[in-house]
Amino acid sequence: METTSTPTHCPYCALQCGMNITPLPQGGVEVTERPDFPVNRGALCGKGRTAPEVLSSAVRLTSPLVRSGGRLVPASWEEALGRIAERLGRTREQYGPDALGVFGGGGLTNEKAYTLGKFARVVLGTSQIDYNGRFCMSSAAAAGTKAFGLDRGLPFPLEDIPRTGCVILVGSNLAETMPPSLRFFSELRENGGTLIVVDPRRTKTAEQADLHLAPRPGTDLALALGLLHLVVAEGRTDEDYIRERTAGWEEARAAAMGHWPEYVERITGVSVPQLREAVRLFCEPEAAMVLTARGPEQQSKGTDTVGAWINLCLATGRAGRPLSGYGCLTGQGNGQGGREHGQKADQLPGYRKLDDPAARRHVAEVWGVDPDSLPGPGRSAYELLDALGTDIRSLLLMGSNPVVSAPRAAHIEERLRSLDFLAVCDVVLSETAELADVVLPVTQWAEETGTTTSLEGRVLLRRQAISPPAGIHSDLYVLHDLAARLGVEKGFPTDPEEVFEELRRASAGGPADYSGITYRRLAQENGVFWPCPATTGVTDEDGEDGEDGEDTVLDGLPDDPARDAETAVPAVPSVHPGTPRLFLDRFATGDGRARFVAVAHRASGEEPDAEYPLLLTTGRVVAQYQSGAQTRRVAELNAAAPGPFVELHPRLAARLGAAEGDPLAVVSRRGRAVAPARITTGIRPDTVFMPFHWPGEGRANTLTNPALDPTSRMPEFKVCAVRVEAAES
């Protein structure tokens, strides 16, 4: 592998910051700024800056492991892959294909997500596939699809934020989850716009707001309805827009009018003057946005909650207009692409519905199989994990660590232990991999090429910069090999570009149409926004209708972005430019109108009572990422955030007799977690907060409630009833 600098993207969150990586003569790689990428303009958070450490980590897996005598011991790839194929085949023979489960991740590249979905349905024949993205933004996806006919996290680029008039940021702590994105909001305020943050905690993000609303956890739906009530009462609706571009207003209006401001104040704890101020700030400018993240989405009423915030945008004429609209800030690195290409229980590539006969015919034709052979929709992520060891006997898991990240995690850990067979692909021995019968060590971001789709719907090329260590293979290699061992010799290439070419064909004509995007374009442009249909038919790079291709497109291109800019081949005139902004003319519904939803406040899955009198909400800290499988292995990040904590208000701490750092036990109906106290006035006195990145006795997800949203099947990570008591130090 060459030693020149390679422009690529961070392996972690959905911002997908651009960075350059350069192999060092003494080994390892160096990360340097990549100012040409417009999203982060060279800025990186500590996670991105230290990402190379995981590439050369001493705890990295370097050989397959198989369980023998109760222990995981090194084995050859031949033995490990042979064992997986044999056990999956045996399970299928004994119990049928739906006894096989497949669990993916929102960090997998588009190529891997696509191949994993195809592998489950074509090779294993199982309907039982879902992924951890179900735990991430599925409520926003469901609400966006209902309202607009299409879900793309942000229907506009981040660069629109500084030029709008007001942003309501609901349940997002960007200062800790994606710090480089904060500059868009600083610029918004510098330009005279305002930022309203809705969060039960005064987070680092809330500290930067013009107005901070701190509702009781689980009441964001009531808050949005209260704001809509005031919008109507104060005559701030956009009647022309409602008439011309929406449907369902009367029912939604009637539902909101039942939510009087005083009633909403009682439910949420947000005062009527604050509600009025929020409405004023949101409605006075020409343009405004609402952006949601996990706060309102990870609730058992997440879809309705997001729907209520979308109603607010629609009633004020602020969706599908320049510099206005609703958007979801997806969390995981490929959270957007991960839900578009078939690893979701109910979907096929191109964001097509699995139960749509035309979609099945199209994808089956690309795959060269009979549409009737494709299984139907399967269980959602939590339901799939809950069925392990009973209906589902063997599981193949890639890119996920549910022992730490799933709700009711002790129960899920027990379900994983009860499986007949578990195979895990990972780069380190995660807490889930520790339970496996076979563990396969796979390549990481800088060692492989692939595409991701950022929270903006911008498809990006992550380029290989270094060779993987000897003896390590990619997830695509694993699926290719297993397919062959299970009798499917063709259709599972190991070359990511070859997979992408097939993905283009499979997505053509679907809601998430990638057919006009090629690796060549991605290497020349700073990403391409979908939908991007092929304007001259979908062909291979070397095909008759496309651009002149080369055998390996990336090999033929320079790696230096400055040189790229000078020598870039002008875009072929017939290519589609991509779609940075959606819905400006019409929404993606049959009649082009957006849909209001008529929703009303309802209680969370669990409300406090005498035994569990407090509310727990969970979230993240800046130095750790998701289940921490990678970031907990980075010394600098571990030093900054070495373990969990229980954040609580001084009044609650005084009632408990707890001082800063005292060990506290947080107890819910599902278990107990112990962590030191962190006392702050920045949290409501009726609420405690725990970050969820760690396993063991401080595992926050031991406590969380798997009450599911009826539409999205999202578990209720953001609110459950707990009690807090002193623990032994």
Residue choice 6, 8, 15, 134 for contact with ligand SF4 (CB under 6 A): 15
Q: Which is nearer to ligand SF4, 45 or 648 (CB)?
A: 45
Count residues contacting ligand SF4 (CB under 6 A)? 14
Question: Could you give the residue ranges of the DSSP H alpha helices within 181-327?
Answer: 182-190, 220-233, 239-245, 249-257, 261-268, 272-283, 294-297, 302-315
CB of 267 to ligand SF4, least distance (A): 34
Alpha-carbon distance 295 to 673, whole Å?
21
Task: Decide: helix, strand or coil at residue 221.
Answer: helix
Residue 385 touches ligand SF4, criterion: CB under 6 A: no
Residue 178 touches ligand SF4, criterion: CB under 6 A: yes
CB of 121 to ligand SF4, least distance (A): 31
Kindly write out the interface string for residues 25-44 of this chain, putting x where it contacts ligand SF4 by CB under 6 A and - elsewhere.
---------------x---x
Give the residues across from 666 on adjacent strands: 673, 724
Cis check for the bond before 52: say yes or no (omega within 30 of 0). Answer: no
Residue 47 touches ligand SF4, criterion: CB under 6 A: yes
Q: Which is nearer to ligand SF4, 127 or 631 (CB)?
A: 631
* Cβ contact 433:59 at 8 Å: no
Q: Which is nearer to ligand SF4, 12 or 131 (CB)?
A: 12
Residue 446 touches ligand SF4, criterion: CB under 6 A: no
Task: Please identify, among the stretches 151-159, 174-182, 272-280, 420-428, the one whose residues bind ligand SF4 according to the rule CB under 6 A.
Answer: 174-182
Alpha-carbon distance 532 to 306, whole Å?
27
The amino acid that residue 366 corresponds to is: V
* Cβ contact 248:598 at 8 Å: yes
3-state SS record for 659-704: CCCCEEEEEECCEEEEEEEEECCCECCCEEEEECCCCHHHCHHHCC
Residue 13 touches ligand SF4, criterion: CB under 6 A: yes
Burial of 357 (0-12, 13-18, 19+ CB in 10 A): exposed
Residues 147-166 that bind ligand SF4 (CB under 6 A): none
CB of 651 to ligand SF4, least distance (A): 34
Residues 68-107 that bind ligand SF4 (CB under 6 A): none
Residue 12 touches ligand SF4, criterion: CB under 6 A: yes
Q: Rounded to an integer, what is the distance from CA 5 to the centroid of its chain?
A: 29
Alpha-carbon distance 104 to 3, whole Å?
33
CB of 40 to ligand SF4, least distance (A): 6
Helix (H) or strand (E) holding 255: helix 249-257
Residue 497 CA: distances (Å) to CA of 450, 461, 561, 655: 8, 10, 20, 60
Task: Please identify, among the stretches 121-129, 176-184, 373-381, 627-635, the one whose residues bind ligand SF4 according to the rule CB under 6 A.
Answer: 176-184
Task: Please identify, among the stretches 10-18, 340-348, 376-384, 694-702, the one whose residues bind ligand SF4 according to the rule CB under 6 A.
Answer: 10-18
Residue 194 touches ligand SF4, criterion: CB under 6 A: no
Q: Which is nearer to ligand SF4, 622 or 666 (CB)?
A: 622
CB of 186 to ligand SF4, least distance (A): 15
Q: Which is nearer to ligand SF4, 48 or 450 (CB)?
A: 48
Task: Please identify, among the stretches 11-19, 91-99, 316-324, 388-396, the one whose residues bind ligand SF4 according to the rule CB under 6 A.
Answer: 11-19
Residue 383 CA: distances (Å) to CA of 404, 496, 604, 713: 17, 31, 19, 9
What torsion, rounded to 10 degrees, do the Cα atoms 104, 110, 114, 116 define? Answer: -30
CB of 1 to ligand SF4, least distance (A): 23
Residue 622 touches ligand SF4, criterion: CB under 6 A: no
Structure tokens at 418: 């009860």
Residue choice 6, 7, 31, 48 for contact with ligand SF4 (CB under 6 A): 48
Give the burial string for 401-431 (b: 16+ CB within 10 Å, else e): bbbbbbbbbbbbbebbeebbbbbbbbbbbbb
Alpha-carbon distance 418 to 435, whole Å?
10
Residue choice 117, 144, 180, 399 for contact with ligand SF4 (CB under 6 A): 180
Q: Which of 629, 637, 164, 658 is nearest to 428 (CA)?
A: 629
- Taking the alpha carbons at both ends of the chain, their separation in whole angstroms is 51
Residues 277-336 that bind ligand SF4 (CB under 6 A): none
Q: Which is nearer to ligand SF4, 75 or 623 (CB)?
A: 623
Residue 459 touches ligand SF4, criterion: CB under 6 A: no
Task: Please identify, among the stretches 172-180, 241-249, 315-323, 603-611, the one whose residues bind ligand SF4 according to the rule CB under 6 A.
Answer: 172-180
CB of 592 to ligand SF4, least distance (A): 35
Residue 16 touches ligand SF4, criterion: CB under 6 A: yes
CB of 15 to ligand SF4, least distance (A): 4
CB of 174 to ligand SF4, least distance (A): 9
* Cβ contact 637:50 at 8 Å: yes
Structure tokens at 706: 């798997």
Residue 172 touches ligand SF4, criterion: CB under 6 A: no
Question: Could you give the residue ranges of the DSSP H alpha helices within 316-380?
Answer: 335-338, 357-367
CB of 107 to ligand SF4, least distance (A): 11
Q: Which is nearer to ligand SF4, 40 or 432 (CB)?
A: 40
Q: Which conformational region is residue 70 in: left (phi greater than 0), alpha (psi within -120 to 50 degrees), or beta? A: left
CB-closest chain residue to ligand SF4 = 48
CB of 153 to ligand SF4, least distance (A): 14
Helix (H) or strand (E) holding 399: none
CB of 302 to ligand SF4, least distance (A): 23
Alpha-carbon distance 191 to 187, whole Å?
6
Q: Which is nearer to ligand SF4, 14 or 679 (CB)?
A: 14
Residue choice 10, 213, 222, 366 for contact with ligand SF4 (CB under 6 A): 10
CA angle centred on 317, ends 311 and 323, rounded to 5°: 110
Question: Could you give the residue ranges of the DSSP H alpha helices within 425-546?
Answer: 475-485, 496-507, 519-524
Alpha-carbon distance 492 to 484, whole Å?
9
Residue choice 31, 45, 123, 310 for contact with ligand SF4 (CB under 6 A): 45
Residue 388 touches ligand SF4, criterion: CB under 6 A: no
Q: Which is nearer to ligand SF4, 15 or 256 (CB)?
A: 15
Alpha-carbon distance 158 to 457, whole Å?
11
CB of 166 to ligand SF4, least distance (A): 24
Q: Which residue has the tokens 């074509």?
A: 122
Q: Which residue has the tokens 């070397």?
A: 542
CB of 447 to ligand SF4, least distance (A): 17
Residue choice 5, 7, 17, 637 for contact with ligand SF4 (CB under 6 A): 17
Structure tokens at 640: 């900054």
Write the DSSP symbol of residue 120.
I
Q: Which is nearer to ligand SF4, 40 or 172 (CB)?
A: 40
CB of 445 to ligand SF4, least distance (A): 10
Can you give the binding site for ligand SF4, defined by CB under 6 A? 10, 12-13, 15-17, 40, 44-45, 47-48, 178-180
